[in-house]
Amino acid sequence: MGTEKQEAATWTAACAGDSAAFASIYDRHRDRVFGQALRLMREPHDAEDVTALVFLEAWRKRASVRVVDGSVVAWLLVTTNNVVRNLERSKRRYRAALSRLPKPSWREEQPDHADSVDERIDQEARDARVRQAFARLSKADQDVITLCVIEGLTQAQAAAALGVPDGTVKSRLSRAKKRLAELNGENGENGEENLTMSTAGGGK
């Protein structure tokens, strides 16, 4: 049995309530989900939380999960984007609440390690700029960039995962690449290259 047919059969069993089958799906796609979460969150413990929430959603909504070419990975990746957006909104509310608290009357002195971390700071700044640009894209643009650029799915596969026509994915992808490059202060080609390089640390 081919890999796609095998996964489709496993997912069908999971949808029927087979927890072992669902665990098999988790084992198959956990690293890719974690990698996408890490690209966006950058902190491993945050990415672990996102991964757990994504698979919880997959279990809760298993009857409505869209299967593309025998795989649920595209649905999982789009859901990862959704979970990250929700967590970021929660963090912003939390930070806003903290900002209203009285400032401490003392400030701890920190040693200056600037000379030893210049290169790391520069790289982190580039990565942060790309992530910030990605975060400013619309949900539709984030999802099409995730599927077609970061994960390398075909436009047809992305269209099936998102439930839209192929032509819609093509136009969204062109628009999203242009918008991402503008937000990142790059031309189109360099903007896409920086995105893939900055997200490479997340793995697949």
For 46-77, what is each residue's pLDDT tens digit?
999 999 999 999 999 999 999 999 999 999 99
Nearest to 71 by CA among 18, 141, 24: 24
Which pLDDT belongs to residue 106? 47
Q: What digits encode the pLDDT tens for the residues 85-143?
A: 988 877 666 566 556 556 555 445 555 555 545 566 556 667 777 888 888 899 999 99
Residues 6+ apart with CB under 8 A from 131: 39, 40, 42, 198
Q: Higher pLDDT residue, 42 or 144?
A: 144
Is the confidence at residue 202, as pLDDT, over 50?
no
Arithmetic mean of pLDDT over the chain = 81
| Rounded Cα distance, 156 and 203, in Å | 23
In this prediction the pTM is 0.71
Higher pLDDT, 202 or 43: 43
Does the domain at residues 124-204 carry the CATH identifier 1.20.1090.10? no
Please indicate whether residue 202 or residue 135 has the higher confidence score (pLDDT). Answer: 135
Task: With beta carbons less than 8 A apart as the criterion, state whether 73 and 158 touch.
Answer: no
- Phi-psi map region of 158: left, alpha, beta (phi>0 left; psi -120 to 50 alpha): alpha
**Which ranges in the chain belong to alpha helices (H)?**
3-15, 19-41, 44-60, 73-99, 114-136, 139-145, 155-162, 166-184, 188-199
In DSSP terms, 157 is beta-bridged to: none
pLDDT(159) > 90? yes
Domain edges within the chain: 1-99, 124-204
Fold category of 1-99 in CATH: Rna Polymerase Sigma Factor; Chain: A (1.10.1740)
For residue 78, give the nearest of 169, 145, 137 by alpha carbon. Answer: 145
